Structure 1
Amino acid sequence: MSYTFEAKETVALLKQLVEIPSPSGYTKEIMDFMENILKQLQVNYIRTNKGALIATIKGTDDTKHRLLTAHTDTLGAMVKEVKGSGRLKLTMVGGFNWNAVEGEYCTIHTADGKKIRGTILMHQTTVHVYKNASGLPRDEQNIEVRIDEKVLTAEDTRKLGVEVGDFVSFDPRFEETENGFIKSRHLDDKASTALLLQLVKTIQDTDMTLPHTTHFYISNNEEIGYGGNSNVPAETVEYLAVDMGAIGDGQSSDEYTVSICAKDSSGPYHYELTRRLVELAKNENIEYKLDIYPYYGSDASAAIRAGYDVKHALLGPGIEASHAYERTHIDSLRNTAKLLYSYVNTKMS
């Protein structure tokens, strides 16, 4: 099966995506950006009440549909309290460790549209003042935002328009190395989103006829548990979540292959569909790893919990240091793209 992976184009799109702030609950800008891409590709799509996008490409068989999903929402925070010092206490959006964002630059997005810069720090950062700073817990009580404005009181900060409930996004610090590594926050799951958009582009540009009507669902609430659990067309038989492979001790996944998940915290994925993905990878000489993610859930598992009668599976590029300053390699993106292309061009068994 002939397929050309457009590496430069894919990485350029990924860079654009990660540089648009989109913590869960604050995704209108990123969804508008992707809606514009779908318009340019002249593909039929809908926008759900929750703000997700579902693009549909009709296939030869319009009775049994496929759905592929990736999510564009990311980790972030919200202002929990404007402190007396003028600095900000935060509450998490999504699940991560505070030490993973300590020292990171950030943007506060005010209700009136201002973007105010700051840095996420421990309150007790100054070692010349706080003797036990290194041993204090990194938590909501000690982590704060130092605003890059002349503020000394809560009133000073509120005069800038900052208030409880404002969203805070983390700088991605995107970098592509000469030897193929891609480092950035929010590769989960904008790497997969870029791959799905590129797949749609390939299908449209080549006038490809798919064996089954296929939906491409870009969700925007996955990090808080309910991104892809609605608006699944009734004809959908197979539901494939495209999301990161988790790397660490005891894991098979790496930064160079496509990771196929057999089980996560929600339980096993559909056995026959998972095995079919493995067989496709073998037949097409696609480098893959089969893995189990112990503390993980996906839009596919959210759909199952919502009661959809579908066969569900999960695959994606391997992402190092998930929910922190993440990294992958172009080889992993290439292998994932090849498996996605092979999958949508293969008839259901």
Structure 2
Amino acid sequence: MNYNISEIKKYLKNILSIASPSGFTEEIIDYLKKELDNLKVSYQVTNKGALLVTLPGENHTNKRVFSAHVDTLGAMVKTIKSSGCLSITPLGGFMMNSIEGENCLIKTLNGKTYSGTIQTIKPSVHISGDDARNLKRIDENMEIILDEKVFSKEDTKSLGIEVGDFVCFDARTVFTNSGFVKSRHLDDKASVAILLYTIKYIKENSIKLPYTTCFYISNYEEVGHGASSSIPSNTKEFISVDMGAPGLDQNSSEYAVCICAKDSSGPYDLSLRKKLVDLCVKNNIDYKIDIYPHYGSDASAALRAGWDLKTGLIGTGVFSSHGYERTHMDGITATLDLIIKYCQTE
């Protein structure tokens, strides 16, 4: 199908450029609202800040929902140290070594933004030698060095920085000529860009939908309760568009749409998975089926909350998930193709 790859990249670049750790997602939701306004698509914002788009179909009773989450990994200020440096507490599950040496922004409650760098408490081998090399990378051994002349707790507090302020990691987004996308937070902003483009494509091509189809952009997935509420009534099928996880002993690929058979929450619906696989086979869409033992999704949250749904999980393969991540436009377009084909399937 003829997709506008430049448009997909534009959406993805814009979305990745807006910091949105769990709990700090108003700005990114506002961006999505503006794009939906440009498309003249109606939407609603849920009480806890998620975004819900509904595209009417011929069958209004049995609804389909595609979800993606716009919240990312991040941190919060845990304490202000006597040195003026900041200790942090993580938002979401990541390895502390994956953020060592990363630039970051601190967003204060009064709207100010300060920059800094995340380091260990022993960042120099010239000073600490093997102690620096062998230091365990855990919360209490990490700190933020502010890009401000601060020498005490009082100096830092005078800037307006307080416990509970959000810490946003530098995304460092790169698009290569060979089709790769390297960035933090491809989980799950690649999927958000895909769903935004899906809405645009359906709207601009006047595609008739056999079922009313909703697009749920959740904002608390990384902390476990993203799609636990506000799912449209009469939803029968809920497909979480998140990511595949290529790596050691995995079947997933950056160049394909990955279909999850089972994750830490258990198996996804077999009949729904079969539909997805059959569509890939019928339409020559590159796909991989995989199992992720240390993974959960918005669909998992919905099931745990008691929703009676058939659930599925798909997404482009994202290498080095929850670190500095990478995917390929082939995987993004394969995921997009499967979603658009599924939207049109009886």
> TM-score band, normalised by the shorter chain?
over 0.9
How many Å separate the matches in 1 of 2:329 and 2:202? 21
Q: Deviations over 1:75-121 (max 9, x none)?
A: 00000000010000000001100000000000000111111000000
Counterpart of 1:72 in structure 2 is: 70
Q: Deviations over 1:234-266 (max 9, x none)?
A: 211100000010111111001100000000000
Which deviates more, 97-106 or 245-254? 245-254
Counterpart of 2:205 in structure 1 is: 206
SS of 2:136's equivalent in the other structure is coil
Q: 1:234-249 counterparts in 2 under 5 A?
A: 234-249=233-248
Opposite residue 195 of structure 2, the aligned amino acid is L
* 1:319 CA displacement: 0.1
Counterpart of 1:97 in structure 2 is: 95
Counterpart of 2:263 in structure 1 is: 264
The answer (yes or no) to whether the contact 1:5–1:337 under 8 Å persists in 2 is no
Counterpart of 2:118 in structure 1 is: 120
How many Å separate the matches in 2 of 1:197 and 1:243? 14
* 1:5 CA displacement: 2.0
1:21 pairs, out of 13, 19, 23, with: 19
Q: Deviations over 1:18-38 (max 9, x none)?
A: 110100001010011111111
Counterpart of 2:141 in structure 1 is: 142
Counterpart of 2:79 in structure 1 is: 81
Counterpart of 2:174 in structure 1 is: 175
How many Å separate the matches in 2 of 1:57 and 1:128? 60
Q: Deviations over 1:168-213 (max 9, x none)?
A: 0000000011111100000000000000000000111112111100
Stretches of structure 2 lacking an aligned partner (at least 5 in a row):
none
Q: Deviations over 1:291-348 (max 9, x none)?
A: 001100000111111111111000000000000000001100111111011010101x
Alignment size in residue pairs = 345
How many Å separate the matches in 1 of 2:70 and 2:282? 31
Counterpart of 2:314 in structure 1 is: 315
Q: State the superposition RMSD in angstroms.
A: 0.7
Identity, % of aligned pairs?
51
SS of 2:6's equivalent in the other structure is helix
Instruction: With the length of structure 1 as denominator, give the TM-score of the two structures.
Output: 0.98
Counterpart of 1:55 in structure 2 is: 53
Opposite residue 45 of structure 2, the aligned amino acid is R
How many Å separate the matches in 2 of 1:236 and 1:336? 22
SS of 1:254's equivalent in the other structure is coil
SS of 1:252's equivalent in the other structure is coil
Stretches of structure 1 lacking an aligned partner (at least 5 in a row):
none
How many Å separate the matches in 2 of 1:245 and 1:189? 11
